Amino acid sequence: MSIKTFTTELPLSLIPFALMYSKKLYEHRNTALDLIQSDVSKTKQNQLLQKVGYNKRQANSLLIDIEGKLSSALLCRQAHINTLEGKIDSALQQISKWNKKLAELPYPCCDIGRNQYKTTQHKLRYKIHHKRRYVLHQQRKLEEILNAPLEVNFGTEFNFPLVGSQGESKGNQICQYDPDNKQIKIRVPVEFEQELGGKYVYGDLEFKYGQDMIEAALLRRGVNFKTGEIYAPGKGESLTWRLFFKNNRWYISVSVEVTDVPIQSKPVGYGCIGVDFNPGVIGWCYTDYAGNPYAWGQFKVNLHSRRSGQVEASLAEVIKALLDLADKYCCPIVIEWLSFAAKKKRMKEEGKRYARMLNYFAYSTFQDLAERQCRNRGIRLIKVNPAYSSLIGLTKFMAMYGMSSDTAAGLVLARRAMGLSERLPTQFALPSVKVARRHVWASWWRLNRKLKSVRRHHFYNQQSLTANLSDYSSRNGSKSQPGRLGEVCTSVVNSVKELGEIPSCNPELAVKVG
C-alpha cells in the first residue's frame, strides 16, 4: 500500500468557510504548539482547545498538524547541526594536512606566482590562516543555532488540513465525501454556524484524476490491530483533506492509500537492466540469465544551470524510456544505492569544480522518480552497493565489449544484483594487487589506488595499462600489509630455455617439450 494525493479546485460555495476557518486556525497555532511542548496530556490538550471554539475532531486535527510541523523543525535543526559539525571536522582535517606538509618542507622553496616571489611556506601559511577563520565562523554559527530557540514554520495562513482517522464514517468525521452524489460536506465550528447557515457547508466536488481510487478507499474494510475489530466498509480507511490557497485560487486535496500495482517483471535471475547515473549521461545495460550483456545504450542529459522543474522533467523522460525497456525485456531495474551527505560536507575542501558537480548531481531526484514510476507500472526496482562498479567496468568489460565507461558500470551493477562476483582480470592480478583469503574488494581497493590517476581512454589499451601498472609496482615495491589487507599471493615464473633443463625451484623436476 502506498499513499497518493489528488488535487482539484475548491467549490465556490466552500471559499467563505475556508477563509474564516483558516484565520481562526492561524490565531491558535502558537497556542497548540505551546500545549504540545508542555507536559499536559493529549486529552487535556484537546479539552483546552475545545474551550476556544473547536469540537473534539477539529482540535485533534489541529494538534496532529502542529505535531508534524514540530517534528519536521526538529529534524531540520538536527540536520543543520550535523552539517556544520561535518564542515568543521573537514576543515580541521585539511588544516592538519597543511601543517604536516609545512613541517616536511626542508627549506623555503621559491615559487613565482601572482603575488610576486612567494615561497611555498608562505602560501601554505596563508591558506591555513584563512581556513582557521572559516572554522571560527562555522563554530560561531553552530553555537548560535544551539543556543537559539526552536523556530517552527507554520506555512502560509491560508493552508490547513482536516485530518481523518480509521473507524470514522467515510474516513473523516469533519470532512466527508459522498461519491454517489459527488458532494463534499464539512463540519463548521459553532461560532460560524449562524453566519454560514448551519452546522455543515456543502459543495459539488469531482476529481479529474484519482476519482476511482478515492471511491475504492471509501468502500474498503479495515482492521484495528490493537483490538482486532473489523471495520465496516467506509470506516476502514482514513482520508486526510487539505484546503490551501495558491496562485490566486483555492484548492482541495485528499490523501488516500492505494493498492500497489502487481509486479510484472520476472525475477532478477532471468536478467535485469543496470543503470549508472552520471551528471551528463545515464548508461544502461541489459544482461541475460547468465550475466552476459545483451543490449546497452546511453541517455544524454543536461542538468547544468537548470531549474528544479526542468531537471525533474528531463529525468522523468529518461526514466520513462528505461521503464519501456524494462517492459520490453520483462525484467527489473537496478540502480545504485548512493548518499552524498558526507561528500557535500567536504565540498569547500575539494574545490569549485567538484562542488559544482555535486550540486548539479540530482541523484536523489532521479531515485525518487524511479521509485514512484516503477511502483506505478509494477516494475521491481533494486538498489545495490556501487563499490568499485566503475573501476570493474573499466578494467574488465569496457574494452572487451567496446562499451563506454557508464554502460560498463551498468553491466557491473546488473551482475551484482544477480549475485555474481567480479574477480580481478588476469592481466591485473599482480603480486602487489591480489590479496589472498580476503574479500575480492580488498584486491579492487589496491588496484583502485594504483590506477586512480589513469585517464579513462587509456583503459582501452590493456597492454600499455598493464605495463604502467607493472612499472608502478616495481617502483613502489610489492610488500604486503598483513595488518590491513592480509597476505599477498606471490607467483614465481621460471623460464626454461633448453630441453631438459631443470628449474631451480625443484631439482627433481625435469621439463620436456615436444
Per residue, the 3-state secondary structure of 6-18, as one string, reads EEEECCHHHHHHH
Whether residue 115 is predicted with pLDDT greater than 80 in this model: the reply is no
More confident residue, 367 or 349: 367
What is the DSSP code string of 365-419? HHHHHHHHHHHHHT--EEEE--TTHHHHIIIIIIHHHT--HHHHHHHHHHHHHTT
Query: Do residue 232 and residue 255 come from a single domain?
Result: yes
- Domain with 253, as residue range(s), is 1-259
More confident residue, 321 or 458: 321
pLDDT at position 204? 93
Q: Which of 396, 420, 444 is the last residue of a domain?
A: 420
Torsion of CA 463, 465, 466, 470, to 10 degrees: 130
Query: Do residue 327 and residue 415 come from a single domain?
Result: yes
Which of 284, 219, 270 has its CA nearest to residue 418?
270
∠ Cα 192 197 198 (to 5°)? 75
C-alpha cell at 203: 459543495
Q: Which of 207, 241, 259 is the last residue of a domain?
A: 259
Which pTM does this prediction carry? 0.75
Please, which pLDDT band fits residue 513 given cuts at 50, 70 and 90? very low
Query: Do residue 386 and residue 443 come from a single domain?
Result: no
Please, which pLDDT band fits residue 505 given cuts at 50, 70 and 90? very low
Give φ, ψ of 219 to 5 degrees.
Answer: -100, 0
Please, which pLDDT band fits residue 121 given cuts at 50, 70 and 90? confident
Query: Do residue 116 and residue 209 come from a single domain?
Result: yes
Whether residue 252 is predicted with pLDDT greater than 90 in this model: the reply is yes
One-letter amino acid of 451: L
Q: Which of 420, 452, 472 is the last residue of a domain?
A: 420
Highest mean pLDDT among 160-164, 307-311, 410-414, 500-504: 410-414
Query: Do residue 309 and residue 244 come from a single domain?
Result: no
Query: Do residue 164 and residue 122 come from a single domain?
Result: yes
Whether residue 503 is predicted with pLDDT greater than 60 in this model: the reply is no
Query: Do residue 127 and residue 205 come from a single domain?
Result: yes
Whether residue 42 is predicted with pLDDT greater than 80 in this model: the reply is yes
pLDDT at position 73? 94
C-alpha cell at 125: 601559511
Query: Do residue 387 and residue 486 come from a single domain?
Result: no
What DSSP designation does 435 have?
B
Which of 258, 204, 205 has its CA nearest to residue 378?
258
Angle, helices 120-147 vs 56-104, to 10°: value is 160
Query: Do residue 427 and residue 508 come from a single domain?
Result: yes
What is the domain count for the chain? 3
Please, which pLDDT band fits residue 492 given cuts at 50, 70 and 90? very low
Residue/partner pairs of 298-304 with CB below 8 Å, 24 or more apart: 298/404, 298/406, 298/407, 303/279, 303/360, 303/361, 303/362, 304/279, 304/360
Query: Do residue 405 and residue 428 come from a single domain?
Result: no
Query: Do residue 8 and residue 151 come from a single domain?
Result: yes
CATH of the domain at 321: 3.30.420.140
Query: What average pLDDT does the chain have?
Result: 83
Query: Do residue 221 and residue 350 come from a single domain?
Result: no
Cα distance between residue 474 and residue 481, in whole Å: 16
Mean pLDDT value of segment 20-46: 91
Contact 360, 304 (CB under 8 A): yes
Whether residue 15 is predicted with pLDDT greater than 60 in this model: the reply is yes
